[in-house]
Amino acid sequence: MNCNPTKLTLADAKCGDRLRVVHICPDCPHCLRLREMGFHDRMVIKKVADGNAVICVIMGTRMALGRELCEHIEVERLAA
Q: Phi then psi for 31, rounded to 5 degrees? A: -70, -25
pLDDT for 32: 87
CATH number attached to the domain at 18-77: 2.30.30.90
Q: Which amino acid makes up residue 20?
A: R
Domain ranges of the chain: 18-77
| Separation between Cα atoms, residue 29 and residue 31, nearest integer Å | 5
> What are the pLDDT digits (tens) for 1-10?
445 557 899 9
Residue 37 has pLDDT above 70, yes or no: yes
Q: What is the pTM of this model?
A: 0.83
